[in-house]
Amino acid sequence: MNYISISLYQKLIDHALSEGMTPEYFKDLPIPIASMADIQAVPANVFFDLHERLDQMLGPGFSVRVGQQMKMDDYGVLGLSWKTCSKAGEIFERCERYFQLLSNTYVFKVEKEGDISKIYLYRNAHRRGVELSNEATFSATIIVLRAMTETDIAPISISFKHGAPQNLKSYQDGFKCPILFNQANNFMAYKTIDLETPTAKADVSINKFLVERVEEETKGIEISSIKIAADVERLIKDALPSGIPSILQIGKHIGMSSRTLTRRLSENGITFRELVQQTQEKSAKNLLKNSTSSVGEIAFQTGFSEQSAFNRAFKRWTGQSPTSFRQK
């Protein structure tokens, strides 16, 4: 049975209350409001049931309206990983890795067609609740991308496989672009260049690194190899949810060629590959000690595509399994 995060279930109820429904309506839910603080996920069918009931009660577009209220923190570990993306489009790479590793509830795929990128959402809509959830997902994606970039980044079109509702006002207000129904696939279309938009966090970090490199070049200041290694370690940690970054990718962030970065790291007695592995090990230990993330989620956060590969690497680092390390 598939499961959906309790935070998304809670969001449906909270927004329904904000639109005028009363707590009494929710008394007969299979998972009562009072018990939600004690659980982490609900069965997918329970989630879809609620979507369908609220759509009937509050009218077409409730799914789009609730999507507009989503925040990155509502998505748990996955949402946390979005905060360290370097560009807008990375969100989909991280979603794809996350769902491959931990769940089969969503499948995102980005296909570039010249100046346009289409973000496909492959999820079999075997019932109306899944269609509504797909609408909420696209609506929330728009909000998340804007929050990440602190810009008005917007899609140029939206396509859904299911038919159109009777009233399109909430869809037009939420998406602000052409919306097509009864299409072959569910997808959002963005300008490719917009998905290359640096995130607000990345903008600040990149600017800081580049200023340091300019000072190093123009003022003859030799930035210590220890500081460079620490900067690179932080960038590696941020990049790991997208998979292990290359030295070329990290070098671009700090304005250094791969050759120069290799040399500066060697001054500190370390290679880029060793630094990646050290960062993975340090992050894994910290998350096992200080978070409630599952072992699968920690595998995702530290750059692994399979939990089994993470388990093997962790045992190689520590001589223990992740579960044993956490228990001790």
Q: Taking the domains of the chain in order of start, what are their residue ranges? A: 3-195, 200-328
Q: Mean of the pLDDT values across residues 170-197?
A: 96
* Residue 252 phi, psi dihedral angles, 5° rounding: -60, -35
**Cα separation, 179 vs 160, whole angstroms:** 8
Q: How confident is the model at residue 263 (pLDDT cuts 50, 70, 90)?
A: very high
Look at residues 310, 251, 305 and name the one whose alpha carbon lies nearest to residue 281. Answer: 310
Residue 61 predicted with pLDDT over 70: yes
pLDDT at 48: 95
Q: Give the number of other CB atoms < 10 A from CB of residue 237.
A: 20
pLDDT in tens, 271-302: 999 999 999 999 999 999 999 999 999 999 99
Q: Alpha helices of 59-161 — where are they, by DSSP H? A: 62-67, 76-82, 90-102, 128-149
Percent with pLDDT over 90 in the chain: 69
Q: Which CATH number fits domain 3-195: 3.40.50.1820, 3.90.1520.10, 3.40.50.800, 3.30.565.10?
A: 3.90.1520.10
Cβ-proximal residues to 15 (8 Å cutoff; 6+ apart), any chain:
62, 65, 66, 69
Residue 176 predicted with pLDDT over 90: yes
pLDDT at 222: 63
More confident residue, 83 or 202: 83
Q: Mean of the pLDDT values across residues 47-65?
A: 95
pLDDT at 289: 95
Q: Mean of the pLDDT values across residues 144-158?
A: 96
Q: Give the number of other CB atoms < 10 A from CB of residue 285.
A: 18
Average pLDDT in the chain = 90
Residue labelled with tokens 């998972």: 31
Look at residues 56, 60, 76 and name the one whose alpha carbon lies nearest to residue 11. Answer: 76
Least confident of 26-40, 171-185, 266-280: 26-40
Residue labelled with tokens 């970065």: 261
Q: Give the number of other CB atoms < 10 A from CB of residue 36.
A: 16
Q: Mean of the pLDDT values across residues 134-158?
A: 96
**How are beta strands 179-180 and 3-5 bridged, if at all?**
unpaired
Residue 317 predicted with pLDDT over 80: yes
pLDDT at 15: 96
Cα distances (Å, whole numbers) of residue 48 to 126, 131, 154, 310: 11, 9, 27, 33
**Cα separation, 185 vs 183, whole angstroms:** 6
pLDDT at 210: 66
**CATH number for the segment(s) 200-328:** 1.10.10.60
**Cα separation, 63 vs 140, whole angstroms:** 10
Residue 169 predicted with pLDDT over 80: yes
Residue 36 predicted with pLDDT over 90: no
pLDDT at 285: 97
Torsion of CA 174, 6, 95, 98, to 10 degrees: 180
**Cα separation, 209 vs 254, whole angstroms:** 5
Residue 258 predicted with pLDDT over 80: yes
pLDDT in tens, 193-243: 999 999 988 766 666 666 676 666 666 656 677 888 898 999 999 999 999
Residue 51 predicted with pLDDT over 90: yes
pLDDT at 207: 66
pLDDT at 235: 92
